[in-house]
Amino acid sequence: MSQQSDAPDPRTQHEQPDSEGERLPPPGHEESVTGRMGEEPDHGEQSYRGSGLLTDRVAVVTGGDSGIGRAVALAFAREGADVVISHLPGEAEDGERTAALVRDAGRRVLVVPGDLTEEDACRDLVDRSVAEFGRIDVLVNNAAYQMAQPGGIADITTEQFDRVVKTNLYAMFWLCKMALRHMPRGGVVLNTSSVQAASPSPPLLDYAMTKAGIVAFTRGLAQSVAADGIRVNSVAPGPIWTPLIPATMPEDQVAEFGTTTPLGRAGQPAEVAPAYVFLASAQAGFITGEVLAVTGGEPVPV
């Protein structure tokens, strides 16, 4: 007979989100949907405890206004990092909420609105970050866009394809190219891929393609900059409960979101952020070019 353990059961550590909310306008705004998306995401506001893993480092987090980005910004700040938060121009309320969490942790924060599908916006983000903090120690390419199309490729417009590719791939390329020149030895690049990179869903064909591209880009860039003392890794989340989900997926799929994982539920942003903290920290100093899956047990064989 197994002994009793104080560790929580991962199947019930977080309940399956209550999705009885409204269909939201994309890409999904955190503060503007309070009370409208059913279960509110957990970013670690009450649970995350830092231990000084990122003391005095400077981190840039794109898509930092909500979801995984907010959870990462919060965790980084509680680990001792100063944080730059990038978000779309229309998400100022969400961005300020994340910024407040960073300030509450006693760290400095810079909020930079901008549409990263434009090269000039990426340049502005890097320039303002360096002007404020003098360098970039950690770059988290997390901003992403998806829009599920039940009809598959026939329903994916050129406009949507352009937006998905420019948000998920172009922005990552531009930001890495611009930020690396300001990144000292010991710097880290973290790119958000997805379980979709290995197990693409037909309604997310364009999104899955970009996530697979992120994996290849991560491994190639890691080899390119290793001699400079910079590490490049990727976190591949599975089904994580964020405003992006009710904003971009059909209602029937939202209701079942995450229930097919081996753990039987969707994850929370707070459960993904520790992966970014680990990969950004010196504890992961011999890890580069890798993909760390946070999927509730869904395999990511990439």
Q: Are strands 188-192 and 231-237 parallel, antiparallel or unpaired?
A: parallel
Distance CA 76, CA 272 (A): 12
The 3-state DSSP class for residue 140 equals strand
Spatial separation of the C-alpha atoms in residues 184 and 299, rounded to whole Å? 34
- Length of the chain equals 302
Separation between Cα atoms, residue 111 and residue 15, nearest integer Å: 32
207 labelled catalytic: yes
**Tokens of residue 58, six digits:** 């400077």
Sequence-ordered strand ranges (E) for 109-200: 109-113, 138-141, 188-192
Q: How far is CA 214 from CA 48, 120, 142, in A?
A: 28, 21, 11
Active-site residue, from 48, 145, 170, 207: 207
| Sign of the torsion angle spanned by Cα atoms 131, 114, 67, 204 | negative
Separation of CA 15 from chain center: 21
Q: Which residues are catalytic?
A: 207
